[in-house]
Amino acid sequence: MLLFLILGVLSGPEVTKYVLDNGLRVVFVEDHSAPVFAGVVQFDVGSYLEHPGITGVSHLLEHMLFKGSKKLGTIDYGREKKIIQRIWDIYEKLPYADSLERSKLREELKKLKEEEKKLVVSEEIWKIYYRVGGANMNASTGNTSTQYFLLLPSNKKEVWAKIESDRFQNLVLREFYSERDVVNEERRMGDGNPSSVLWDNLIATAYIAAPVRWPVIGWESDIMNITPQEVMDYYKKNYVPERCVIVLAGDVYPEKDIKLVKKYFGRWKKRKPPLIRITQEPEQRGTRRAHVEFRATPRMGIAFHGPYYGTKDYFALELLSMILTDGNSSIMRQELVDKGIATSVNSYVMDFDKKVVSLMTIFVNPAPGKNFKEVEDSVFSILESIKKEGISQRSLKRAKNNYKKDILSWQKNVLWMAIGAASNERVMGDPEYSFKVLKTIEEIKIEDVMNVLKKYISLDRATIVTLGGEK
């Protein structure tokens, strides 16, 4: 029997939530302004579930889920299955084979891959969706979630339900090794991007224990050594209804459309996900520093552990971040960029969905002729000055207005509306949680912002990573 709840609306569209017998949560967000809907399938699966040896498996799995199923992406799965298994067997034998046997195995592998290609219907999922008017089809993997989304005409909901339910229940690791190479090439491209390298080193230095310290894409040695069986085991363990939220937003009719969702997703077998123990970050005792040798314009990242997401302190820290760097009139833009100390400065707060403590970051690009020490001294001088002099009511009001504007702007786009509702439901158990955030933001006072500044932001709590230029 379905459980459902019509949720009260606070400055937003009508939202209806159901929970299927298998534990799958389904949310409808109504907006009948256009005959389209956004479909989002979001899993509580990300790099936080990984460990050294299989880093990047969540992202690799995301790639594999576009390869199809036993029905999609193949003209004869029975024949293809045998070829896939033999390819896996050969890859397992290759590292241990002598040169003569290795040569024979590689020749067989080449022939098998040619046979496999004849049976594969490349990108069939994409082709079906685009044929029926789909748009914005994509997916993303993060530290704490993986999501799949697209826009479709509202009369194509059954096409969506049929495809999505099939691929999430009946995954086939088709063309696994070639896709693994694609992912590793993506990893290498990131290794050539100074901003990506700075971020990887900053988060790995800021967190010494919590499982968000490795890159979402994974380390190269893990990507290139992970086996199909390890990926399949990870999929079966974690891609379960209880860890999934589905959102349909736009031209949807909950009472009618839930029957369609139940028809296809109700078949998904209920499986209890394993207990998750997340290693929590110990208290930081002293400044942490690292320098990355890299041929690039010098840049610096500074990070501070913050409060958990959902607390009043967390949202006060978000407002502090905006006061510091959001807009040309922000404090650090005026003190660093306008005065020629830096060419750019930005600040963000990573929340990690309450799983581990948040991280406030400040990224600064030194101006020509300015070294890292000068920039660092300037940043901390500004922070200490604010602690003594405080912030203005005007700065706080501007930050609040911008924060609220960002949240409300999501409601103007059905895809962003759907993604936001999915995240809210997955993390907080409330698809309309963003509207509660608006209330919390409004209640925050100058004292609250000053308290988090003094509590979390100081040199002895900082992680400082520099890249390029001189140490």
- pLDDT of 286 > 80? The answer is yes
Place of tokens 């009618």: 256
CA-to-CA distance for 104 and 298, rounded, in angstroms?
Answer: 50
Residue 232: band (very low, low, confident or very high) from pLDDT cuts 50, 70, 90:
very high
Residue 314 shares a structural domain with residue 259: no
pLDDT tens sequence across 420-465: 999 999 999 999 999 999 999 999 999 999 999 999 999 999 999 9
Residue 12: band (very low, low, confident or very high) from pLDDT cuts 50, 70, 90:
low
Query: Per-residue pLDDT averaged across 331-352, rounded?
Result: 97
CA-to-CA distance for 28 and 39, rounded, in angstroms?
Answer: 10
Residue 3: band (very low, low, confident or very high) from pLDDT cuts 50, 70, 90:
very low
pLDDT tens sequence across 48-79: 999 999 999 999 999 999 999 999 999 999 99
Residue 169 shares a structural domain with residue 27: yes
Residue 340 shares a structural domain with residue 450: yes
Query: Per-residue pLDDT averaged across 99-125, rounded?
Result: 95
Which whole-number Å values give the CA distances from 235 to 65, 196, 230, 239, in the listed order? 10, 27, 9, 5
* Mean pLDDT, rounded, of the chain: 95
CA-to-CA distance for 237 and 229, rounded, in angstroms?
Answer: 12
- pLDDT of 272 > 90? The answer is no
Residue 417: the pLDDT is 95
The answer to whether residues 209 and 176 touch, using CB atoms and an 8 Å cutoff, is no
Residue 470: the pLDDT is 62
CA-to-CA distance for 345 and 336, rounded, in angstroms?
Answer: 8
CA-to-CA distance for 176 and 68, rounded, in angstroms?
Answer: 12
Is residue 283 one of the residues assigned to a domain? no
Count how many domains the chain has: 2
CA-to-CA distance for 26 and 17, rounded, in angstroms?
Answer: 6
Residue 246 shares a structural domain with residue 371: no
Residue 46: the pLDDT is 98
At residue 324, the 3 state secondary structure works out as helix
Q: How far is CA 339 from the centre of its chain?
A: 36
Phi/psi at 378 (5° precision): -65, -45
Whole-model pTM over 0.95: no
Residue 248 shares a structural domain with residue 320: no
Is residue 92 one of the residues assigned to a domain? no
pLDDT tens sequence across 158-196: 999 999 999 999 999 999 999 999 999 999 999 999 999
Residue 322: the pLDDT is 97
Residue 383 shares a structural domain with residue 255: no
For 185-251, give the secondary structure using H, E and C: HHHHHHHCCHHHHHHHHHHHHHCCCCCCCCCCCCCHHHHHHCCHHHHHHHHHHHCCHHHEEEEEEEC
Q: Which pairs with CB-CB distance under 8 Å and at least 24 residues apart come from 194-198?
A: 194/294, 194/296, 194/297, 194/299, 194/467, 194/468, 195/299, 197/292, 197/294, 197/467, 198/292, 198/299, 198/301, 198/363, 198/465, 198/467
Q: Which of 196, 230, 265 is the last residue before a domain boundary?
A: 265
Residue 312 shares a structural domain with residue 257: no
Residue 471: band (very low, low, confident or very high) from pLDDT cuts 50, 70, 90:
low
CATH number of the domain bearing residue 148: 3.30.830.10
Is residue 105 one of the residues assigned to a domain? no
- Region of 109 (left: φ > 0; alpha: ψ -120 to 50; beta: rest) is alpha
Structure token digits, residue 195: 């901003």
- CB count, 10 Å around CB of 21? 12
Residue 374: the pLDDT is 97
Name the residue range of residue 406's domain: 288-467
Task: Give percent above pLDDT 70 in the chain.
Answer: 97
CA-to-CA distance for 466 and 471, rounded, in angstroms?
Answer: 7
Task: Indicate the range of 273-277, 346-350, 463-467 predicted with least confidence.
Answer: 273-277
Residue 171 shares a structural domain with residue 293: no
Query: Per-residue pLDDT averaged across 406-419, rounded?
Result: 91
Residue 1: band (very low, low, confident or very high) from pLDDT cuts 50, 70, 90:
very low
Q: Could you tell me which of 333, 414, 391, 470 has the C-alpha nearest to residue 149?
A: 414
Place of tokens 């310290």: 213
Is residue 93 one of the residues assigned to a domain? no
The answer to whether residues 230 and 176 touch, using CB atoms and an 8 Å cutoff, is no
End-to-end CA distance of the chain: 63
Structure token digits, residue 99: 């040169």
Is residue 163 one of the residues assigned to a domain? yes
Query: Per-residue pLDDT averaged across 255-274, rounded?
Result: 95
Is residue 447 one of the residues assigned to a domain? yes
Place of tokens 């491209």: 189
Is residue 101 one of the residues assigned to a domain? no
Query: Per-residue pLDDT averaged across 381-395, rounded?
Result: 97
Query: Per-residue pLDDT averaged across 359-379, rounded?
Result: 97
Q: Which amino acid is at 225?
A: N
- CB count, 10 Å around CB of 294? 19
Is residue 25 one of the residues assigned to a domain? yes
Query: Per-residue pLDDT averaged across 215-222, rounded?
Result: 97
Residue 245: band (very low, low, confident or very high) from pLDDT cuts 50, 70, 90:
very high
pLDDT tens sequence across 82-107: 999 999 999 999 999 999 999 999 99
Residue 59 shares a structural domain with residue 144: yes
Residue 447 shares a structural domain with residue 313: yes
Residue 2: the pLDDT is 33
Residue 68 shares a structural domain with residue 186: yes
Residue 294 shares a structural domain with residue 260: no
CA-to-CA distance for 407 and 438, rounded, in angstroms?
Answer: 8
Q: Could you tell me which of 379, 365, 383, 350 has the C-alpha nearest to residue 454?
A: 383
Structure token digits, residue 105: 């195995």
CA-to-CA distance for 310 and 317, rounded, in angstroms?
Answer: 11
CA-to-CA distance for 40 and 148, rounded, in angstroms?
Answer: 6
Q: Kindly list the strands in the beta sheet with 299-305, ordered across the sheet, starting from the edge strand earlier in the chain.
A: 288-292, 462-467, 299-305, 359-366, 342-350
Query: Per-residue pLDDT averaged across 288-313, rounded?
Result: 97
